[in-house]
Amino acid sequence: MEGETAPLLARLEERIGAIAEGIAQAAGLETAGVELRGGGRRRWLRVYLDRPGGAITLADCEAVSRQLGAVLDAEDLIPGDISYTLEVSSPGLDRRLVKTADFQRFAGEKVRVELRSRPGGGRRRFSGVLEGLSADNTKLRLRPEGAAVMELGREELASVRLVPRF
């Protein structure tokens, strides 16, 4: 993976995500995201699980971790000369929103948004109430406090996270 590019990592995350989703669905769960991070010969593969309407247990994480680890080893998706640590957990209170279903499910919640670049030299970070997605699902609709609803292209989103409520 020497000299790897972001698109290569994104494709690998997507492929691992599809495998993880199949394993999660068989257990009555769904994935809430997959991240492959780190560099060189040391990586962290994080898989986040969700149970709509319920909580993720340690037993859920252990079962998915065992099955996913076995499949990843058998298919050698991450080359053998790269060591990685597999972590399977719940997405946490400040969960990252990734899927179209996430943006629909959490409409009305407060979120923090970070963009990949500064459009027109403006801001990169915003917070406000998630209004959902545009009709064609290509734009995130956000209502910052005291401002009108703004639309941000999904391709420009670096991350969207829930703001925890205590």
Q: What is the mean pLDDT of residues 41-69?
A: 92
Q: Which residue has the higher pLDDT, 24 or 73?
A: 24
Q: Is the dihedral of CA 69, 73, 79, 85 positive or negative?
A: positive
Nearest residue to 162 via CA among 13, 17, 50:
50
Average pLDDT over residues 68-77: 90
pLDDT tens digit string along 111-143?
999 998 876 667 889 999 999 999 999 999 999
Q: Is the pLDDT score of 2 beyond 50? A: no
144-163 residue pLDDT tens: 988 999 999 999 999 999 99
pLDDT class for 12, splitting at 50, 70, 90? confident
Phi, psi of 70, rounded to the nearest 5 degrees: -65, -45
How far is it, in rounded angstroms, from Cα 41 to Cα 79?
10
The per-residue pLDDT for 27 is 94
Q: What is the share, in percent, of the chain residues with pLDDT greater than 90?
A: 64
Task: Tell me which amino acid residue 61 is.
Answer: C
